[in-house]
Amino acid sequence: MYLRHLDFYLLYLFWISYFIYHYHALP
């Protein structure tokens, strides 16, 4: 259970950081 929760949490953070990076990369 804990591992799954951590996995989802990490995935969530990964997507957030990805979107932020994408937005920052845009002119």
- Encoded tokens for 21: 């990076």
pTM greater than 0.75: no
pLDDT tens-digit series, residues 1-27: 566 788 889 999 999 999 998 887 666
What's the start-to-end Cα distance of the chain, in Å? 41
| Secondary-structure percent of the chain, ordered helix, strand, coil, rounded to 5 | 90, 0, 10
- Encoded tokens for 20: 């932020």
Q: What pLDDT, on a 0 to 100 scale, did the predictor assign at position 1?
A: 58
Quick one: CA dihedral 6, 7, 8, 10, positive or negative? Answer: positive
